[in-house]
Amino acid sequence: MSKKFSAQHFINRELGQLEFNRRVLAQAEDARIPLLERLKYLCIVSNNLDEFFEIRVASLKEQINLAGVPLGPDGMDAPLTLKRVREQAHQLIAHQYDILNTAILPALDVQGIRFLRRTRWNDAQRAWVREFFFNEVMPVLTPIGLDPSHPFPRVLNKSLNFAVELQGKDAFGRNSAKAIVQAPRVLPRTIPLPPEISGCEHGFVFLSSILHAHVGELFSGMTVLSCHQFRVTRNSNLFVDDEEVKNLRTSLQGELPHRHFGDAVRLEITDNCSPQVADYLLQQFELGVEDLYRVDGPVNLVRLMDIPDQVARDDLKFAPYSAGITTTLQKKGADMFKLLRKGDVLLHHPFQSFQPVISFIQQAASDPQVVAIKQTVYRTGVDSALMEALIAAVQGGKEVTVVVELMARFDEEANINWASKLEEVGAHVVYGVVGHKTHAKMIMVVRREDGKLRRYAHLGTGNYHPRTARLYTDFGLFTCQPEICADVNEVFGQLTSLGKAGTLRHLWQSPFSLHSQILRAIHNETKLAQAGKKAHIIAKMNALLEPAIIAALYEASRAGVKIDLIIRGVCALRPGVAGLSENIRVRSVIGRFLEHTRIFYFRNNLAHDTYLSSADWMDRNFFRRIEVCFPLLDKKLKKRVLDEGLKIYLRDNVQAWEMAVNGRYRRKTPRRAALVCAQTTLLQQLAN
């Protein structure tokens, strides 16, 4: 933290993340959004909170156990942060379930989409559920009675479980008062009923309701006194000792299974669970009462995410669209290399198709003139046409090098599997640099043309993941400009070889130059403003946390630089502070697509320097990751990025939220101005 600024000038990271989830939750309340999409937003909040507890809350607890961890820039220590987090998380989750029960479920019911409550089943429904239980559920259940020879079982992270209180003796004369029933993950959590049984077009029953109704069948001759669903969230941080690790993949494979059984950090139970059962579960998981979250409904709303896919009601979903193809790529089977020799190509996903990226690798794999392909992989998914194309390239005799990031959180297993498949066919697979995640998004193709080798590159702000490319906003640039490609080649050399980092002509790179170059660009705008010239910075990213960058932005604001920040998630900077940040405006855009693009614009005395990057402005991205930031050298493409990536978002008054000095956000509510929705406008302009 800069000595010029005190803790009050910085906002806490964890509280900022909860504030972001409030904005997402507001989407579930927005009557302008199609009903089934509102249900999805409700589920997204649950998914976000799961990861928040698994990673951020778990880290806070680790810091408390270690003691002596230095304060963050906001001046809050781990115990105080955890206290505030618990308070706000309880409020947020209570509001979430209130929306579910008072808004979403009643509205779905009106539309003939019903979740049938156990207490209201009629005879036909009761009979159907009973048959389903005996045929589909009971055969895969393993109830566990708790006694000296059957201790409390290991409960998987985020799995659905039931605590059962019993009375009576079992077949062996044991008088066990408690049992645990674990719901196998192979079972769906919501079961559709035939319309003639449910009495509506789309009727569903929760698996928890089915188990509640028939749990007595699992304990023959005993009386079930109570049955309560619960779910425990565990620490999912993976620990691999950078100094001791000899084989990263082997070490990671050994660590992954433990993720399901890390220390408990949160216990969720239904609100009607008895205090005795709640206390018993807290004791088993070594949690305090402040870690207990009582909910009015299913303990895992994430499992409702697939309901829209099971319901054929297009009128309750976002209107379908077809991602656009740029004019230069519209011709089927267009020669990517010929096109790129004519000029750079920019793609804006998901408004424009991700298919050209896949076609680029597929063409390279089959082109006899291509001699080598190199690519970084951070997240790519279990099924990936890109990875299959790389495998085909190896089998076709190409030199293929893939830098696989094994420590991509929650994608470790998929990446290990792809690394194994690539190695099996003879690709060169490296895992980057231990201690620095490879987060850069780069592809390089080397092709022999007229007796010489020419490089082609793709650089992006998002992952090489076809599915998320339909859900996240990102830019991707194809180029064969020699200096850019030489820089890309240099970065690949650092990742696969040994030696000192070379000087890059155009790319800014973490952990070497990105931080200093961003600071230099901010300081340059400050100097221009001090000289009486117009100065302007626009930056769009997922998170802004790094103290030195924030301090530089404060100094720029004091000098008169106009600063517009479009931060989807956490922002530790306080805008609008008198004498400090009056010239800084912070906004967040939450819409149909997840805003993921990183764009950095500096007016620079009308040079209009514009960069795209894989990196947010966070400590980890600057100092503990391999990242790249690349300029738009083509004036037409630079204008596109400014128009499509920044200006339209600064005009958005439908999905935009403005940040106040206290860190809270207020939704833009236009009164007289025409409605401007950035994502809708881009769909109209770029999609088919």
Catalytic residues: 439
Phi, psi (deg, nearest 5) at residue 122: -90, 180
The CA-based dihedral angle spanning residues 669, 672, 673, 675, taken in that order and rounded to the nearest 10 degrees: 60
Q: Where are the alpha helices (DSSP H) in 289-384?
A: 307-310, 336-342, 355-366
Find out whether the peptide bond into 194 is cis, omega within 30 degrees of 0: no
Is residue 381 within 8 A of residue 467, CB to CB? The reply is: yes
599-602 and 536-541 beta bridge pairing? antiparallel
In angstroms, the CA 466 to CA 383 distance is 9
Residues 6 or more apart whose CB falls under 8 angstroms from that of 350 comprise 323, 469, 470, 471, 472, 473, 593
- Alpha-carbon distances of 277 from 163, 169, 272, rounded to whole Å: 7, 20, 10
DSSP 501: P
Crossing angle between the packed helical segments 385-395 and 355-366, to the nearest 10 degrees: 10
161-167 and 190-193 beta bridge pairing? unpaired
CA 231 vs. chain centroid, Å, equals 22
Residue 665 bridge partners (DSSP): 659
Residue 178 bridge partners (DSSP): 165
Token output for 499: 């030696």
In angstroms, the CA 149 to CA 364 distance is 61
Q: Is 152 left (phi over 0), alpha (psi -120 to 50) or beta?
A: beta
Is residue 524 within 8 A of residue 604, CB to CB? The reply is: yes
